[in-house]
Chain A
Amino acid sequence: MVAAGLPVRLGPLELKNPILTASGTFGYGLEFQDFVDLSKIGGICTKGLSLSPHAGNPPARIWETPSGMLNAIGLQNVGIEAFLDEKLPRLRELGVTVIANVWGDLEEDYVTVVRALERAEGLAAVELNISCPNVERGGMLFGNSPSATASLVAKVRAATRRPLIVKLSPNAPDLVESARAARDGGADVLSLVNTFVGMAIDPETARPRLSFGTGGLSGPAIRPLAVRMVYQVAKALPGTPLIGIGGIADLSDVLEFLAAGATAVQVGTSNFRDPSVSGRLVDELAAYCAERRVAVTDLVGRAHAPAATPVPLDAGAEG
Chain B
Amino acid sequence: MLEVPERSRPYLRRAYSVADVDTDRGEVEFLVKTIGPGTSALERLTVGSSARLLGPLGNSFSLSGLSASDRVAVVAGGIGAAPFPLLYRALAAARIPGDLFLGGRSSADLSIASRFSGVVTGELQISTDDGSAGRRGFITDLFAERAASLPSRYARVFACGPMPMFAALAPIVARLGIPAEFSTEAAMGCGFGVCLACVIPGAEQPFLVSCQEGPILEPARIRW
Is A271 in contact with B194, judged by CB distance below 8 angstroms?
yes
Provide the B1-34 mask, 1 if CB < 8 A to any CB of A, else 0: 0000000111111000000000000000000000
Say if the beta carbon of A76 comes within 8 Å of chain B: yes
14 of the cross-chain contacts (CB-CB < 8 Å) are: A25-B195, A26-B194, A27-B193, A55-B206, A59-B197, A61-B187, A61-B197, A64-B9, A64-B10, A67-B8, A67-B9, A272-B195, A275-B54, A275-B190
Say if the beta carbon of B170 comes within 8 Å of chain A: no
**Chain B nearest CB, measured from A258 CB (Å):** 24
Say if the beta carbon of B186 comes within 8 Å of chain A: yes
How distant is the Cα of A273 from the Cα of B192 in the complex, in angstroms?
A: 11
Is A27 in contact with B187, judged by CB distance below 8 angstroms?
no
| Chain B positions within 8 Å of A32 at CB level | 194
Total number of B residues with any Cβ neighbor in A under 8 Å? 23
**Chain B nearest CB, measured from A129 CB (Å):** 15
The closest CB in chain A to the CB of B192 belongs to: A31
How distant is the Cα of A55 from the Cα of B200 in the complex, in angstroms?
A: 12
**Chain A nearest CB, measured from B223 CB (Å):** 11
- Chain A residues 28-81 with CB under 8 Å of chain B are 31-32, 55-56, 58-69, 71, 73, 76
| Chain A positions within 8 Å of B195 at CB level | 25, 62, 71, 73, 272
Say if the beta carbon of B207 comes within 8 Å of chain A: yes
**Chain B nearest CB, measured from A316 CB (Å):** 33
The closest CB in chain B to the CB of A63 belongs to: B187
Say if the beta carbon of B201 comes within 8 Å of chain A: yes
> Given B13, B194, B199, B200, which contacts A27 in the complex, CB threshold below 8 Å?
B194
Say if the beta carbon of B122 comes within 8 Å of chain A: no
| Chain B positions within 8 Å of A221 at CB level | 8
Is A66 in contact with B9, judged by CB distance below 8 angstroms?
yes
Asked whether A273 and B8 contact (CB < 8 A) given A59-B199, A76-B196, the answer is no
Asked whether A76 and B207 contact (CB < 8 A) given A219-B11, A272-B12, A273-B12, the answer is yes
How distant is the Cα of A76 from the Cα of B200 in the complex, in angstroms?
A: 13
> Given B11, B54, B194, B198, which contacts A64 in the complex, CB threshold below 8 Å?
B11
Is B194 in contact with A25, judged by CB distance below 8 angstroms?
yes
Is A56 in contact with B11, judged by CB distance below 8 angstroms?
no
| Chain B positions within 8 Å of A62 at CB level | 187, 189, 195, 197
Is B192 in contact with A61, judged by CB distance below 8 angstroms?
no
How distant is the Cα of A292 from the Cα of B207 in the complex, in angstroms?
A: 49
How distant is the Cα of A77 from the Cα of B171 in the complex, in angstroms?
A: 31
How distant is the Cα of A132 from the Cα of B190 in the complex, in angstroms?
A: 20
| Chain B positions within 8 Å of A271 at CB level | 190, 194
How distant is the Cα of A285 from the Cα of B33 in the complex, in angstroms?
A: 40
How distant is the Cα of A145 from the Cα of B46 in the complex, in angstroms?
A: 54
> Given A59, A63, A65, A272, which contacts B200 in the complex, CB threshold below 8 Å?
A59
Asked whether A61 and B196 contact (CB < 8 A) given A69-B11, A272-B12, the answer is yes
Asked whether A31 and B11 contact (CB < 8 A) given A59-B186, A275-B54, the answer is no
**Chain A nearest CB, measured from B150 CB (Å):** 36
